[in-house]
Structure 1
Amino acid sequence: MNLDFDDLYTTTTVPWDLGEPQPAVVAFERAGRISGAVLDVGCGLGDNAIYLAGRGYRVTAIDAAAPAIEQARRRAAARGVDVEFAVADATGLTDFDSRFDTVLDSALYHCLTDEQRPQYIAAVHRATKPGALLSMLCFSDQTIGGLPAPFPVSEHNIRDTLSAGGWAITDLSPGELTAVTASAREFVTQYPDAVSDDKGRVLMPIWIVQAQRV
């Protein structure tokens, strides 16, 4: 994926800027997938981290894009919640060894190259405690209403990479990622049967992945 995220966060409204947490992340929390010290990796503008902090979790949120972290800090301050934000490389996660009980990846994995993905999963393993939980949302190679994901990843890729990196997948199923239609209009209008939610936001195909550190 060849995108300049610093530029995107500075010059545009990104399609994943809902101004609220991803519905799938809310579902993770309600299902008991979040506990202890939480790492939101690839946090973007911070809405998922802010939601979890507002629910009482200790959240550290990182992103490689400094403009995203700057905006996320302002959002957290405006909402009166405490999140530890940092600019950091998800494929290294230096200074975070054995720190987290839960990892949330809301649409980061598919942004990485084939070479970076094993590095990232190994880094997340180092940053977590034994038995830690990983909850991940990743663009899939399926479609919803004929709409494909822009950066599709196969189930086989996820299973092989996580298994080799020390994670046991407990569930992997198709699901939906919510995107702001206006921001993704050029892409979405090619697919007249694309599915939207009750707020007019497009639903994009993902894998919903749950795994445990072994």
Structure 2
Amino acid sequence: MSVADESYDFTTADFNAVYTGGDLLPGAAIKGVPWDIGEPQPDVVAMEDAGRFDGAVLDIGCGPGDNAAFLAGRGHRVTAVDAASAAIEQAKERARGLQISFAVADATRLDGYEGHFDSVLDSALFHTLGAEDRSRYVAAVHRATRPGARLSMLCFADVPGGMPAPLSVSEEEVRTTLHEAGWHVTHLSLSVYAGVAGPVKEFFEKTGKRPELDEQGRTRLPVWKVFADRVSA
């Protein structure tokens, strides 16, 4: 068992706190928002270029809103939700002038959104949930989408050089959890998630990890890039 497994319960992360200068996890020394790179994730840009988003788009776990703002700027009808009210307030400020519907919402329920969306973006939400909540979450997304909807997801991959378990997820868990909730995986490959190195430097030192950095000094963490189509549950 790794140091991280023994010391931290990632399902207790306080996402509201990290957006207001507090600790994401007690004792983990993560202050600041490590996924806030100030621009859309490169893979999200590539997904949009490839035509992954159409109709009513849900950005679930939108964080500070850069992905949502990018998609709205490309002409998409975007609803962006997050469980952290502080994240939603920051996202509203960044997206000022864009037509985006923001809301604080529980991703494992999505009450009031039944049958609403044609496309869903999950940029690093799935892996933050515990195993049972992951199942509830993908089932809630299924209920919130229309027949033929498409899900595009990035989640930390359980591979060498990645985030410690249980924050990283195996390929088998991704496929099984989606399949059981009525999603057919059409693509799954390894990709890279860009992050801010500063807020997680001490955390990685504690856990013995040495993340790869890009030319801008950002972390490059391995993720599964997953595309799935909605089918009957």
**In 2: Cα distance, 1:84 partner to 1:183 partner:** 29
**In 2: Cα distance, 1:52 partner to 1:90 partner:** 20
Alpha-carbon offset, residue 188 of structure 1: 3.9
Q: Which amino acid aligns with 2:119?
A: T
Task: Quote the sequence identity (%).
Answer: 55
Alpha-carbon offset, residue 153 of structure 1: 0.5
Q: Which amino acid aligns with 1:181?
A: A
Residue 105 of structure 1 corresponds to 122
Question: So what's the TM-score if we normalise by structure 2?
Answer: 0.86
Aligned positions of 1:158-177 closer than 5 A: 158-177=174-193
Residue 210 of structure 1 corresponds to 227
SS at match of 1:157: helix
Residue 140 of structure 2 corresponds to 123
Aligned positions of 1:148-167 closer than 5 A: 148-150=162-164, 151-167=167-183
Q: Which amino acid aligns with 2:79?
A: T
Residue 80 of structure 2 corresponds to 61
**In 2: Cα distance, 1:148 partner to 1:22 partner:** 17
Residue 152 of structure 2 corresponds to 135
SS at match of 2:131: coil
After superposition, the CA RMSD in angstroms is 1.1
Q: Which amino acid aligns with 1:205?
A: P
SS at match of 2:37: coil
Aligned positions of 1:176-191 closer than 5 A: 176-189=192-205, 190-191=208-209
**In 1: Cα distance, 2:13 partner to 2:168 partner:** 15
Alpha-carbon offset, residue 209 of structure 1: 0.4
**In 2: Cα distance, 1:51 partner to 1:104 partner:** 12
Question: So what's the TM-score if we normalise by structure 1?
Answer: 0.94
Q: Please tell me whether the aligned partners of residues 195 and 203 of structure 1 are also in contact (alpha carbons under 8 angstroms).
A: yes
**In 2: Cα distance, 1:17 partner to 1:149 partner:** 17
Alpha-carbon offset, residue 148 of structure 1: 2.1
Q: Which amino acid aligns with 1:5?
A: F
Alpha-carbon offset, residue 191 of structure 1: 4.0
Alpha-carbon offset, residue 184 of structure 1: 1.6
Is 1:48 aligned to 2:59, yes or no? no
Q: Which amino acid aligns with 2:108?
A: T
Q: Please tell me whether the aligned partners of residues 181 and 188 of structure 1 are also in contact (alpha carbons under 8 angstroms).
A: no
**In 1: Cα distance, 2:32 partner to 2:106 partner:** 23
Q: Which amino acid aligns with 2:191?
A: G
**In 2: Cα distance, 1:148 partner to 1:125 partner:** 28
Is 1:13 aligned to 2:32, yes or no? yes
**In 1: Cα distance, 2:212 partner to 2:85 partner:** 33
Alpha-carbon offset, residue 84 of structure 1: 0.5
* Per-residue Cα deviation, 1:38-67 (whole angstroms, up to 9, x for no partner): 000000111100110011000000000001
Residue 3 of structure 1 corresponds to 13
Q: Which runs of 5+ in 1 are unaligned?
A: none
Is 1:73 aligned to 2:89, yes or no? no
SS at match of 1:10: coil
